[in-house]
Structure 1
């Protein structure tokens, strides 16, 4: 795994997202209400909108511009207008650091 530090665990509020750039890839680091942290591609596949500026609820993130929701675990869109998934990246917590491996996405846009 080629994980690199994306941010600190405490840098991400519960039910919120933080945008980071790793190796030229925009990534939204998201913390669910149960404390689980996810790394998902930050760009909505419908409208080139930053997902980290959207809304986090349960295990989804919603694009603020057009309302498409994406599953945090799979990157799949759950409603229109988006129909293409966003990538999901492996996350490791190392002490107070969130490490993300953008070189080996768990899912790819198809």
Structure 2
């Protein structure tokens, strides 16, 4: 069974943006896209650069270090140098708050 953890209010993440969220020694990226809210591991799989300074382009996050891109909803690596997918996590929104399942 999933353990739903409160992250933040929906209005704390601008449209087409993300925030860094740290929980129990792990770091996550929480996104606000046209398709809703999503969560992935917070670090790029290429050189462990945090994605919080990355650029959200529609449904894609671009790493700020070497411009590796990932599909936000699935974590799929889209171009080199990123070749390992990001881990994704279920997200739900209830009463204006975002929760992540860990």
TM-score, normalisation: structure 2: 0.93
Unaligned runs of 5+ in 1: 103-110
Higher strand share: 2
Pairing 1:1-16 to 2, within 5 Å after superposition: 1-16=2-17
CA contact (8 A) 1:6 1:22 kept: no
Rounded Cα–Cα distance in structure 2 between residues aligned with 1:35 and 1:11: 17
- Please tell me the root mean square deviation across aligned C-alpha atoms, in Å: 1.0
Task: Name 1:29's counterpart in structure 2.
Answer: 30
When normalised by structure 1's length, the TM-score is: 0.87
Number of aligned residues: 101
Unaligned runs of 5+ in 2: none
